[in-house]
Amino acid sequence: MTDTTAGRFAGKTIVVTGAGSGIGRATAIRLAGEGGRVIATDVVAERLDALRADLPDADLETVVGDVSQAETIQQVVAAAGDRIDSLANVAGIMDRFLPPSEVDDATWERVFSVNVTAPMRLTRAVLPLMIAAGSGTIVNVASEAALRGSTAGAAYTSSKHAIAGFTKSIAFFHGPQGIRANAVAPGAVETNIEAPMGSEYAASRIGPVVQAIVPAAAQPDQLAAAITWLLSDDSSNVNGVVLPSDGGWSAV
Ligand code: NAD
């Protein structure tokens, strides 16, 4: 793991979605290790059980549920109680790389539901507490697909551009109320995300690009380092950015 900062989140309550695996799990572990109270949510119960087992001494609450469902969001906010200092919207799904000519309505709607609508609803649910407190930080996990058109299918690319725009909207409207919102754009990361190739045409377009310019995959804790920095007071002058953490991919 990258070096942690002792006590950086002491006294803070932080909600993390997608906390059962990959980037969300690494973020939850780091936040707990830096003294935070973590409300960890994921749709896979066994993953949250494993997280709890791995962090026996952490101040950790888990909420099992699909974050695209309103009831899960209500349960998360209820579990947090009367303060939520930070929110990390990490949960996300891919789209079988279907290009605009092949994307079906169900894929488009499911990807937008998880990658855009759910973070919007959770953000909307936590903002009243943050505004009342006069402070709060939000980090949305975007993707290299928020920066270019060659890394995923039409639905995923559009959803990640949308979450980047939503991040800037939060920063613009609620910055004066003490809220900071930023996004991290990971390149390739070694996680459990399902990324089957569902289109021969997409494979023919994306394959050569990926081979030519994509750096080696990162580890989830490298992303957790960027996410926790943006959630913390260490980034107090940063609001509304989309920060690539991609080994230099976005410079190509
Ligand atoms: P992951 O699959 O390892 O972890 C994501 C977690 O989110 C899983 O535990 C999954 O159960 C959970 N989840 C998925 N849908 C959910 C839902 N509807 N409700 C609640 N929980 C749900 O994947 P990861 O790679 O850690 O992905 C985290 C984020 O990083 C995603 O937003 C993804 O788009 C983004 N990302 C990943 C990569 C990569 O290469 N891994 C690259 C760029 C962006």
What pLDDT, in 10s, does the model give residues 187-216?
A: 999 999 999 999 999 999 999 999 999 999
Residue 227 lies in a domain: yes
Q: What residue type is 5 in one-letter code?
A: T
Residue 250 lies in a domain: no
Residue 157 · residue 149 · CB < 8 Å: yes
What atom of ligand 1 comes closest to residue 217's alpha carbon?
A: 40
pLDDT of 17-31, one tens digit each?
A: 999 999 999 999 999
**For the CA atoms of 190, 96, 184, 20, what is the dihedral angle to 10 degrees?**
-60
pLDDT of 38-52, one tens digit each?
A: 999 999 999 999 999
* 174, pLDDT greater than 90: yes
Residue 143 Cβ contacting ligand 1 at under 6 Å: yes
pLDDT band at 120 (very low <50, low <70, confident <90, very high): very high
Mean pLDDT over the full length of the chain: 97
Residue 251 lies in a domain: no
Helix (H/G/I), strand (E/B), else coil: 82: coil
pLDDT of 69-81, one tens digit each?
A: 999 999 999 999 9
DSSP conformational letter for 113: I
Query: Minimal CA–CA distance to 207: which of 97, 94, 95, 111?
Result: 97
Residue 109, domain extent: 13-245
Alpha-carbon gap, residue 76 to 17, rounded angstroms: 9
Question: What are the C-alpha distances in Å from 151 to residues 64, 122, 157, 213, 241?
Answer: 30, 27, 8, 11, 20
- Say how many domains are in the chain: 1
Q: What residue type is 46 in one-letter code?
A: E
What are the residues whose beta carbons fall under 8 Å from the beta carbon of 57, sequence distance 6 or more? none
pLDDT number for residue 2: 67
201 is a catalytic site residue: no
Residue 7 lies in a domain: no
Residue 4 lies in a domain: no
156 is a catalytic site residue: yes
Alpha-carbon gap, residue 31 to 59, rounded angstroms: 10
Ligand 1 pocket: which of 29, 30, 39, 42 to mutate (most atoms <8 Å of CB)? 42
Catalytic residue among 12, 160, 168, 201: 160
**H or E segment at 195?**
none
Residue 224 lies in a domain: yes
What is the CATH number for 78? 3.40.50.720
Residue 89 Cβ contacting ligand 1 at under 6 Å: no
Please give the biggest Cα pair distance in the chain.
Answer: 51
What are the residues whose beta carbons fall under 8 Å from the beta carbon of 120, sequence distance 6 or more? 166
Ligand 1 centre to CA of 251 (Å) is 24
Residue 64 lies in a domain: yes
Residue 8 lies in a domain: no
